[in-house]
Amino acid sequence: MTTRTETHEFKTEVKQLLNLIINSLYSNKEIFLRELISNASDAIDKLRFKAQTEEGILGNDTEFSIRIELDKIKNTLTVTDNGIGMTYDEVLENIGTIAKSGTGAFLEAMAQLNKDNTLTPELIGQFGVGFYSSFIVAEKVTLLTRAAGADKA
């Protein structure tokens, strides 16, 4: 008797799956703003933490901020921070993969550098779904990012 083994990939409609995940996790649509602010806060904390181990990464931008701008004419909401940002590859890896947390990976990497526990970042998002909550209220989401220390986005 021979055993037959086959491997099959799951197929999915990403939009439909994303909608299901988002609506399962978030009961009210306004939660997206909290999630985007949490992501911005984490980006700032990551940069603050990284600046303790990587001299000069802040450049002249040492005052951290999160800005929220509403444009009623264009019907847009913009959340801006001056945190750590992402490289092109990090965007593909973290934003392009649902439930992939850049914060989780960051904490693992920093634990290796922080053997004596003198640096303690307190980061909020570790599940990789907060960004997607913006799709509860938006038809289109634009991400513009520049990694700390890079010249352009």
Indicate the average pLDDT of the chain. 78
Q: What is the CA radius of gyration of the chain?
A: 18
What are the structural domain ranges in the chain? 28-136
Instruction: Give tens-digit pLDDT for 63-78.
Output: 999 999 999 999 999 9
**pLDDT for residue 95:** 77
Structure tokens at 57: 């990464």
**pLDDT for residue 152:** 81
Cβ–Cβ under 8 Å, residues 26 and 136: yes
Question: How far is it, in rounded angstroms, from Cα 124 to Cα 41?
Answer: 8
Cβ–Cβ under 8 Å, residues 126 and 101: yes
CA proximity to 130, closest of 43, 34, 45: 34
For the cut 90, the answer to whether the pLDDT of residue 14 exceeds it is no
How far lies 139's CA from each of 31, 86, 135, in Å?
A: 16, 23, 7
**pLDDT for residue 85:** 95
**Confidence tier at 44 by pLDDT (50, 70, 90):** very high
